[in-house]
Amino acid sequence: MDEFLKSNPGLASRFSRTIQFRSYTPDELMEIFTSMISARGYFVGEGTHKHTMNFLGRRWTLRDDSFGNGRLVRNLVEASILRQSTRLAAGNLSTARSEELSELISSDIEVDLT
């Protein structure tokens, strides 16, 4: 946004306020992740919860000025669900337990969001 405002000298003077948003903490990111997957009918088990927390913590530690923490979680949710569906499609769905169809496991979280 700073670059956009600097692109035209008169543009910045048209905005009287600047709002700074703080980054969510890894715990808050996990809450958002859990809420988003739950709203889509998915869940993570205890081991996957810890794995996801570690993933989010690593990404948070490596953040820079362009870190979009809400975007990170949304992209992680979408990529994890895609990996889960790909994993299930490669297996035998006729023998899958119903809870397996909505559970995200650790390997579903191993995504490259770069």
Judge contact between 11 and 5, C-beta under 8 A: yes
pTM value is: 0.78
Number of domains in the chain: 1
Which CATH number does the domain housing residue 91 bear?
A: 1.10.8.60
pLDDT in tens, the chain (114 residues): 667 777 777 777 777 787 777 789 999 999 999 999 999 999 998 889 999 999 999 999 988 877 888 889 999 999 999 999 999 888 877 777 778 889 999 999 876 765
Measured between alpha carbons, how far is 58 from 16 in angstroms, rounded to an integer? 36
Question: Per DSSP, what are the bridge partners of residue 11?
Answer: none
For residue 4, being part of any structural domain is answered with no
Domain with 34 in it:
23-109
